[in-house]
Structures are given as structure tokens and as C-alpha cells.
């Protein structure tokens, strides 16, 4: 295993408070504590023992956040599948902003039907935007094929 050095920004007061609490949780350093948090987040609470025995509250919180992340991922997949079924033509022909306005209520209804949960409008916009970026080629091809077909149809009339 290769260890990678990383850094992050944290509030000075919070970091100081964390440093005071770490020894009481059985860790010798901030790095050891953060490695334990990372291990539990990535591999699940079953490895908490190997991670240095995080306290049950922290371990529970990490597990809760991990489960939330898994559900959110599944929700995003459901929304992306829906956008793939109905959104591509609208995005291609009307643009992203108009597609969002036109599909917003339908996306909410589909999310509630599929998952029982719904994203905020900001999250739905971000996901729709990500879809448009990832499927840029397909969107442009659809737009071009449709424009050519309309041109050919108009030419024959």
C-alpha cells in the first residue's frame, strides 16, 4: 500500500478541539484518527477494529453518511436513466435551460415514483448538466440528424 500525503482546510478552533479529543478516543495522532475515519468510510464499520476502534457515535455517523451516499448514488442513477429516456431530444432541440424548465416537474415525479425521495432543484440542475456534458456527442448528433430530416422534409414540400 502506498501512502499519500494530503492536506485540507479546517477551522482552527475545530482542529484544536479535535486534537484535544483524539487521545480520549484511543488515537495517538490526528493522522491515525483520520486514517481510521477513511478506513471505516471506504470499507465499512466491520473494519473499525482494524481502523483503531472509532467510538460508536463516530462510527455510526460515518456509516450513516456512507449509506446516505449509496442511496444518493442510486437516486442519481435513476434520474440519469430517466433523463436518458426523455431528456436527450429536449436538451438537443431546446437547450439545457429550457429542458430543465420543461422536465423539472416530470423529474420530480419520476424520482418520487422510483425512489420515494427527491433532489433539490440545484441538484437536479447539476445532474442534468452533468448528463449534457457526458452525452455531448449524442446530443449534437441528435440535433444534427433532426435538423437534416426537417430540412429534407421542407425541401420535398
The full set of domain ranges for the chain reads: 12-54, 70-156
Pick from 92, 103, 105: nearest CA to 132: 92
- Could you write out the DSSP letters of every residue in 46-78? GGTTTTT---HHHHHHHHHHHHHHHHHHHHHHH
Burial of 27-56, coded b for 16+ CB within 10 Å and e otherwise, reads beeeeebeebbebbeeeebeebeebbebee
pLDDT at 46: 63
pLDDT at 124: 93
Tally Cβ neighbours within 10 Å of residue 126. Answer: 13
- Please give the DSSP secondary-structure letter assigned to residue 28: S
pLDDT at 54: 66
What φ, ψ does residue 35 adopt, rounded to 5°?
-60, -40
Confidence of residue 100 (pLDDT cuts 50, 70, 90): very high
Confidence of residue 136 (pLDDT cuts 50, 70, 90): very high
Amino acid at each position: 500500500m502506498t501512502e499519500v500525503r494530503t492536506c485540507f482546510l479546517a477551522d482552527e478552533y475545530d482542529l484544536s478541539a479535535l486534537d484535544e479529543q483524539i487521545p480520549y478516543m484511543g488515537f495517538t495522532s490526528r493522522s491515525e484518527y483520520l486514517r481510521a475515519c477513511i478506513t471505516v468510510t471506504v470499507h465499512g464499520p466491520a473494519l473499525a477494529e482494524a481502523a483503531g476502534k472509532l467510538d460508536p457515535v463516530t462510527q455510526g455517523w460515518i456509516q450513516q453518511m456512507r449509506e446516505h451516499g449509496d442511496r444518493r448514488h442510486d437516486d442519481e442513477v435513476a434520474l440519469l436513466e430517466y433523463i436518458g429516456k426523455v431528456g436527450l431530444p429536449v436538451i438537443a432541440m431546446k437547450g439545457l435551460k429550457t429542458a430543465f424548465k420543461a422536465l423539472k416537474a416530470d423529474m420530480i415525479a419520476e424520482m418520487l415514483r422510483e425512489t420515494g425521495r427527491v433532489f433539490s432543484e440545484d441538484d437536479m440542475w447539476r445532474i442534468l448538466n452533468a448528463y449534457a456534458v457526458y452525452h455531448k456527442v449524442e446530443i449534437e448528433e441528435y440535433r444534427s440528424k433532426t435538423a437534416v430530416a426537417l430540412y429534407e422534409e421542407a425541401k420535398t414540400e
